[in-house]
Amino acid sequence: MTALQIIFLFVAAITLASAVMVVSARRMMHAALWLVLALAGVAVIFAMLDAGFFAIVQVLVYIGAISILIIFAIMLTRKAMEDVGPQLNRGWWLAALAVVGVFAGLAVVIVSWPGVMATAGVGPDADAIVNFGKDLVDPDKYVMPFEVASVMLLAALIGAIYVSVEHKGGQP
Amino acid sequence: MSFWTDPMAVIANLIGGWLAGLGMTEGWVTFVLSFLGAGVYALLVMLTVVLLIWVERKLLGRFQDRLGPNRLGPWGIFQTIADMLKIFTKEYITPNGVDKVPYNLAPILAVAGVLSVWAVIPLGATILGANLNVGVLYVVAIGAIGELGIILAGWSSRNKFATLGGFRAVALLVSYEVPLVVSLIIPVLFSGSMGMNNIVHAQKDIWYIVLAPVAALIFLITSIAENGRAPFDLTEADSEIVAGFNVEYSGLKFGMYYVADFMHTFTIAFLFSTLWLGGWQGPWAEKYPMLGLFYTAFKAWFIYFTIIWLRGSLPRFRIDQMINLNWKVLTPLALVLLMMTAIVNRLVPEGMLVVRTLALLAVNGILLVGTSWLLNKFAGRNKRVVVAPEPRPVARPEQISSES
Amino acid sequence: MIPLPWLLIFAAALFCIGLFGVLARKNSVAILMGVELMLNAVNINLIAFWRYFQATGADSSRAWTFVAVVLVAAAAEAAVGLALIISAYRKRKTVIANELNLMKG
């Protein structure tokens, strides 16, 4: 058991425990804070897999923006009654059963796949990120997903502003 | 490889050799060395901040035509130590009903959000914490963690003023991140890399503040806003009398916010000097990295002085002025500047440094002149109308008519 | 290096926990948090497969573009979803998913 594997088990345990707390916390604010911890754990795992760029982008986008947005939304939609009473649906045991079934199916598929015991190679070289940047604007490569993602963000921005503007006269 | 040409490697070899002699394996030696290095670095930064608090108070005093602290020690130099002792011994008053974990975690996050930036600032050619090749992105991401600390503080204090103050502060900080990131793209554009040490290396021929002064100005303004300093300090002095998100903190927890504030200013000065003023570049800086440390501190000192100067001179902005400044002035200016800088940078062929500099300076000048013209043209449009008070009966009308 | 099955099973577990959050929680914001967990699990899967099968090649961009688009989609969806939830709260004064049932037949 190398040091890296021990650290991975530790971080994975923390992340999964935080995720369980997210879906079962009674108070919404606590759930949001556990979500931040889970996302930070995922960022650490990205860093361990030599994807440092995505670790930092994860912290920046998820923890720095989406989590703050979720906390704002919780604050703006809060009444005193919200956090009282059962937090789960009436049919939550059915959901639990379905989830356990899905997990069992996934685990079986993963373990029985012949290529699963692959060994990792050496890792990306130093200018992988420079090539990533070049390929994102290369017309033969990935400029299309890049531009479409930008348009999607623009649409999301405009949509969110329009939906949340309060129109005078009660018009939706 | 003597001590003077490569100090960090020599120290690392010494300690690593001693640790390996004690019987540790390679991985553990690296781990202990990293831990030790991070601890010593953080300690040095925090001790320097203690000195800088004294510098700031003296300077502010001089700006305001008074002496500043001058009782304890020569020139009042032990004043900060006395303040620290006072804050250490204050009682922690925890309000009833706070959430214990976020309440105690928030000051730690605030300090961590500033201290972690120091890991990527290159103090010398080989003196730096971690040579991340995405250092600039890391700086922005760590700023986001600081904001999380403020939200936690505001919400967990169970105080309406604290919550509102915290949310308003974070809304402002998130807004000011947009022009900050856009202005940070410009050194990345010029040097072709996001790593801070590469950016400093690429400023060998010319400093980036000459190539893009407007971008440096936008970076300075938005960093001061991110710091929450005057003239942008409504997050900690407004909310009418109470102190905003940290109103329920006392003792050392409040001291942590105070320290984080001053450390952030210090960090901004060093970041500015690294990204725009050439960092550790200077005569013989590559051969003797310790000289690089001196150069970067020297350059950072001017920026630090300017920030304190701004604090002592300008009145506080209102919140609508701050929001208008961000979204109507800084963000469009930064975006247009980025586009024009990128275009001009590509149009001028490689290697013609003087032509490139002059072209970029022309672009910056045009943008600056254009922005001030636009601002002047639209400045009078939304004037607040001050309603003069109605004349009301007074006790001695003959005195009024004699004066007017 | 971390064995690949560990990473894949960890990602599957995170996905399933997020799925439980989506299916079983009453509050709409909590459902959205479950969706974010699922998208993170997808990202871990992608990065794990990239690291084991493509990292030594010259072209990491395909995997990284995929991960970047998933990240961007998650951000956009969180923004619009939360705006919708806040708008629904203003009209209906509730965020419980069961009670937003104006169109129920």
Question: Can you give the CATH number for the domain in which A68 is found?
Answer: 1.20.120.1200
B195-209, B230-244, B247-261, C81-95: the lowest-pLDDT one: B230-244
With beta carbons less than 8 A apart as the criterion, state whether B371 and B330 touch: no
In this complex, the chains that touch C, judged by 3 or more CB pairs closer than 8 A, are A
Are B46 and B173 in the same domain? no
Mean pLDDT on B329-346 = 91
Mean pLDDT on C55-69 = 83
Are B144 and B181 in the same domain? yes
**Residue ending a domain, choose from B43, B60, B89:** B89
pLDDT of amino acid A83 = 60
**Reported confidence tier of residue B338, pLDDT bands at 50, 70, 90:** very high
Nearest CA in chain B to A76: B167
**Reported confidence tier of residue C46, pLDDT bands at 50, 70, 90:** very high
> Any residues with CB less than 8 A from the CB of A21 and at least 6 apart, and which?
A30, A31, A34
Domains of chain C: 4-95 (1.10.287.3510)
Where do we find the tokens 């009282």? A84
In a domain, B397, yes or no: no
- Residue C27, classed as helix, strand or coil, is strand
* Closest residue by Cα to residue C9 from C70, C17, A55: C17
Where do we find the tokens 């440094």? B353
* d(C-alpha B391, C-alpha B401), whole Å: 12
Proportion of chain B above pLDDT 70, given as a percent: 93
Mean pLDDT on A52-77 = 90
Establish if A48 touches chain B: CB-CB under 8 angstroms.
no
* Closest residue by Cα to residue B246 from B316, B255, B331: B255
pLDDT over 60 at B241, yes or no: no
> Any residues with CB less than 8 A from the CB of C92 and at least 6 apart, and which?
C99, C100, C102
A contacts of B151 (beta carbons < 8 Å): 68, 71
Pairs of residues, one from chain A and one from chain C, whose beta carbons lie less than 8 Å apart: 245
**Reported confidence tier of residue B125, pLDDT bands at 50, 70, 90:** confident
A contacts of C102 (beta carbons < 8 Å): none
Average pLDDT of chain B, as a whole number? 84
In a domain, A106, yes or no: no
* d(C-alpha C45, C-alpha C81), whole Å: 24
Nearest CA in chain A to B151: A68
CA distances from B152 to B109, B159, B193, B277 (A): 9, 12, 34, 36
Neighbours of A74 (CB within 10 A): 24
* d(C-alpha B324, C-alpha B319), whole Å: 9
| Cα torsion through C1, C4, C5, C8, rounded to 10 | 120
Å from A47 to nearest chain C CA? 10
| One-letter identity of residue B374 | L
- Residue C25, classed as helix, strand or coil, is strand
Mean pLDDT on B351-371 = 84
pLDDT over 80 at C63, yes or no: yes
- Best probe of the A interface among B138, B175, B189, by most A CBs < 10 A, is B138
**Reported confidence tier of residue B1, pLDDT bands at 50, 70, 90:** low
Mean pLDDT on B265-276 = 92
Are B152 and B104 in the same domain? yes
* d(C-alpha B100, C-alpha B78), whole Å: 34
Mean pLDDT on B73-91 = 85
Establish if A3 touches chain B: CB-CB under 8 angstroms.
yes
CA distances from B319 to A117, B316, B389, C8 (A): 58, 9, 26, 48
In a domain, A58, yes or no: yes
Å from A7 to nearest chain B CA? 13
A160-169, B52-61, B123-132, C73-82: the lowest-pLDDT one: A160-169
Where do we find the tokens 């997210």? A22
Where do we find the tokens 């080989």? B126
Pairs of residues, one from chain A and one from chain B, whose beta carbons lie less than 8 Å apart: 59
Are B12 and B135 in the same domain? no
pLDDT over 60 at B403, yes or no: no
Are B152 and B245 in the same domain? yes
In a domain, A8, yes or no: yes
pLDDT of amino acid A100 = 94
CA distances from A46 to A52, B113, B170, B216, C62 (A): 6, 20, 27, 33, 17
Bigger pLDDT: B159 vs A5: A5
- Residue B389, classed as helix, strand or coil, is coil
Are B215 and B75 in the same domain? no
Å from C71 to nearest chain A CA? 8
Proportion of chain B above pLDDT 90, given as a percent: 21
Bigger pLDDT: A40 vs B346: A40
Are B32 and B125 in the same domain? no
Are B36 and B146 in the same domain? no
* d(C-alpha B178, C-alpha A153), whole Å: 15
End-to-end Cα distance, chain B: 83
With beta carbons less than 8 A apart as the criterion, state whether A107 and C32 touch: no
* Closest residue by Cα to residue C31 from C91, C90, C92, C100: C100
- From the number of C-beta atoms within 10 Å of its C-beta (0-12, 13-18, 19+), residue B251 rates as middle
pLDDT over 90 at A36, yes or no: yes
In a domain, B384, yes or no: no
- Which tokens in the block code for residue B309? 């100067």
B contacts of A75 (beta carbons < 8 Å): 155, 163, 167
Are B63 and B38 in the same domain? yes
Mean pLDDT on B54-67 = 89
pLDDT of amino acid B382 = 64
Bigger pLDDT: B378 vs B66: B66
Neighbours of B353 (CB within 10 A): 12
Residues 157-216 of chain B with CB under 8 A from chain A are: 163, 167, 170, 174, 192-194
Establish if A80 touches chain B: CB-CB under 8 angstroms.
no
pLDDT of amino acid B93 = 82
In a domain, A147, yes or no: yes
* d(C-alpha B17, C-alpha B11), whole Å: 10
Contact A3 B137 (CB under 8 A): no
Establish if C78 touches chain A: CB-CB under 8 angstroms.
yes
pLDDT of amino acid B250 = 79
A contacts of C69 (beta carbons < 8 Å): 145, 149
Mean pLDDT on C53-58 = 72
Bigger pLDDT: B55 vs C56: B55
Are B262 and B145 in the same domain? yes
CA distances from B239 to B234, B316, C51 (A): 8, 13, 50
Mean pLDDT on A9-37 = 92
- B31, B145, B155 ranked by CB distance to A29: nearest: B155
Establish if C4 touches chain A: CB-CB under 8 angstroms.
yes
* d(C-alpha C71, C-alpha C82), whole Å: 17
* d(C-alpha B138, C-alpha B130), whole Å: 11
Partners of A88 in the β-ladder: C25
**Residue ending a domain, choose from B89, B122, B156:** B89
B contacts of A56 (beta carbons < 8 Å): 134, 137-138, 141
Mean pLDDT on A97-114 = 92
Q: What letter would DSSP give residue B204?
A: S
- Residue B93, classed as helix, strand or coil, is coil
Residues 21-40 of chain C with CB under 8 A from chain A are: 21, 23-27, 29-30, 32-34, 36-37, 40
Establish if A18 touches chain C: CB-CB under 8 angstroms.
no
**Residue ending a domain, choose from A57, A81, A105:** A81
Q: What total of structural domains would you count in chain B?
A: 2
pLDDT of amino acid B242 = 61
Contact C33 A74 (CB under 8 A): no
In a domain, B402, yes or no: no
pLDDT of amino acid B399 = 67
Neighbours of B231 (CB within 10 A): 17
pLDDT of amino acid A134 = 87
What is the value of ipTM here, to two decimals? 0.90
Are A13 and A70 in the same domain? yes
Mean pLDDT on A54-72 = 92
Are B232 and B282 in the same domain? yes
Q: What letter would DSSP give residue A88?
A: B
| One-letter identity of residue B52 | L
pLDDT over 60 at A82, yes or no: no
Q: Which domain holds residue B43?
A: 1-89
CA distances from C82 to A31, B4, B333 (A): 16, 56, 30
Let me know the angle formed at the C-alpha of B121 by B51 and B25, rounded to the nearest 5 degrees: 105
Bigger pLDDT: B69 vs C7: C7
| One-letter identity of residue B175 | S
With beta carbons less than 8 A apart as the criterion, state whether A30 and A20 touch: no
Nearest CA in chain B to A64: B144
In a domain, A43, yes or no: yes
Partners of C25 in the β-ladder: A88
Establish if C77 touches chain A: CB-CB under 8 angstroms.
yes
Proportion of chain C above pLDDT 90, given as a percent: 55
Contact C36 A39 (CB under 8 A): yes
Q: What total of structural domains would you count in chain A?
A: 2
- Which tokens in the block code for residue C72? 């961007």
In a domain, B309, yes or no: yes
Q: Do chains A and C touch (3 or more CB pairs under 8 A)?
A: yes
Contact B141 A129 (CB under 8 A): no
CA distances from A154 to A121, A147, A151, B300 (A): 38, 11, 5, 38
Establish if A70 touches chain B: CB-CB under 8 angstroms.
no
Mean pLDDT on B326-333 = 92
Are A134 and A59 in the same domain? no
- B102, B133, B167 ranked by CB distance to A129: nearest: B133
Are B150 and B1 in the same domain? no
In a domain, A161, yes or no: yes
Contact A107 C9 (CB under 8 A): yes
Nearest CA in chain A to B143: A64
Mean pLDDT on C1-15 = 91
- Residue B57, classed as helix, strand or coil, is helix
* Closest residue by Cα to residue B243 from B317, B309, B164, B170: B164
pLDDT over 60 at A47, yes or no: yes
In a domain, A151, yes or no: yes
Are A141 and A71 in the same domain? no
Q: Which domain holds residue A34?
A: 1-81
Tell me the pTM: 0.88
- A69, A100, A132 ranked by CB distance to C78: nearest: A69
Contact B133 A126 (CB under 8 A): yes
C contacts of A111 (beta carbons < 8 Å): 5
**Reported confidence tier of residue C36, pLDDT bands at 50, 70, 90:** very high
A109-113, B256-260, B332-336, B376-380: the lowest-pLDDT one: B376-380
Mean pLDDT on B178-200 = 91
CA distances from B302 to B53, B222, B231, B269, B291 (A): 16, 18, 19, 8, 18
| Number of residues in chain B | 404
pLDDT of amino acid B238 = 52
Bigger pLDDT: C39 vs A131: C39
